[in-house]
Amino acid sequence: MKRTRSPQLPRQRLHDLVVHDLPDEVLVYDRRNDQAHCLNQTAVLVWRACDGASTTADIARKLSAERDNVFSEDLVLFALDQLDKFELLEASVLARMPLSALTRRQMVRTLGIAAAVAVPVVTSIVAPTPAQAATCIAAGQPCSPTILCCSPLGCNNGSGKCRPG
151 with 82, same domain? Answer: no
Q: What is the CA radius of gyration of the chain?
A: 22
Q: Is the pLDDT of residue 147 over 60?
A: yes
pTM of the model: 0.62
**What residues pair up with 156 in beta bridges, in sequence order?**
161
- Predicted pLDDT of residue 109: 59
Range of the domain at 139: 134-165
Output the DSSP codes for 126-162.
Answer: EPPPHHHHPPPB-TTSB-BTTB-BSSTT-EETTTTEE
**What residues pair up with 20 in beta bridges, in sequence order?**
27
Distance, in Å, from the CA atom of 115 to the CA atom of 109, rounded to the nearest integer, reads: 9
Q: Give every CB contact of residue 159 below 8 A, 6+ residues apart in sequence.
A: none
Higher pLDDT, 111 or 51: 51
**CATH number, domain containing residue 97:** 3.90.930.60
74 with 43, same domain? Answer: yes
121 with 147, same domain? Answer: no
Q: Domain total for the chain? A: 2
112 with 156, same domain? Answer: no
91 with 165, same domain? Answer: no
DSSP 8-state symbol, 119: S
Report residue 61's pLDDT band, with 50, 70 and 90 as the boundaries.
Answer: very high
119 with 153, same domain? Answer: no
124 with 146, same domain? Answer: no
103 with 138, same domain? Answer: no
